Amino acid sequence: MRKDTLIWAPWRMAYIKKANEPGCVFCKKLKKKDGPENLVLYRGQRSFIMLNLYPYTNGHVMVAPLKHIKDLEKLDTATLAEMIKLTQRMITVLKKVMRPEGFNVGINIGRVGGAGVLGHVHVHIVPRWNGDHNFMPVIGATRVMPQTLAEVYVLLKKELEK
């Protein structure tokens, strides 16, 4: 017989209240000053790097174009090149700072493709460690994050600025 467990997560209420707000979450973040509050780590000429607010693992970041573009095939060559260069740079930073044993790098396109932000194409970079899938996500559908987003932001930002 399954026994449900309650996990207290009051910080999720802000997300729940904003879930149906109009507008692009990335574009809203780009209008604010960079820092741990808006999670933007770096802005390039055509694209930017941002921590994922609801990460799969610590250090889960996204690279997206500065322009609000839905389709990968509509990105110009210079933007695509910068996004891949920033993806490469971020993997180097994550290896140095967080020492993952591997990565998942991908682009989810469309709702059925797993995209959480439908109108602004972006690349996910998810650091992985041996054993990061323990019983919590498998049995309890719960992930355990050992660091806060603010802590991860400071660590990554410091290395990106070198």
Regarding pTM above 0.85, the answer is: no
Strand partners, 102: 128
CATH number at residue 90: 3.30.428.10
> Per residue in 96-133, pLDDT tens?
999 999 999 999 888 888 877 888 999 999 999 887 66
Domain holding 83, by residue range, is 23-160
Report how many domains make up the chain: 1
Report yes or no on 10 lying in a domain. Answer: no
Catalytic annotation, pick one of 68, 122, 124, 133? 122
Q: What is the DSSP string of 62-76?
A: EEEESS----GGGS-
Contact 79, 86 (CB under 8 A): no
- The two tokens of residue 12 are 């999720």
122 carries an active-site annotation: yes
> Per residue in 53-69, pLDDT tens?
888 888 999 999 999 99
CA neighbours closer than 13 Å in the CB half-sphere of residue 57? 21
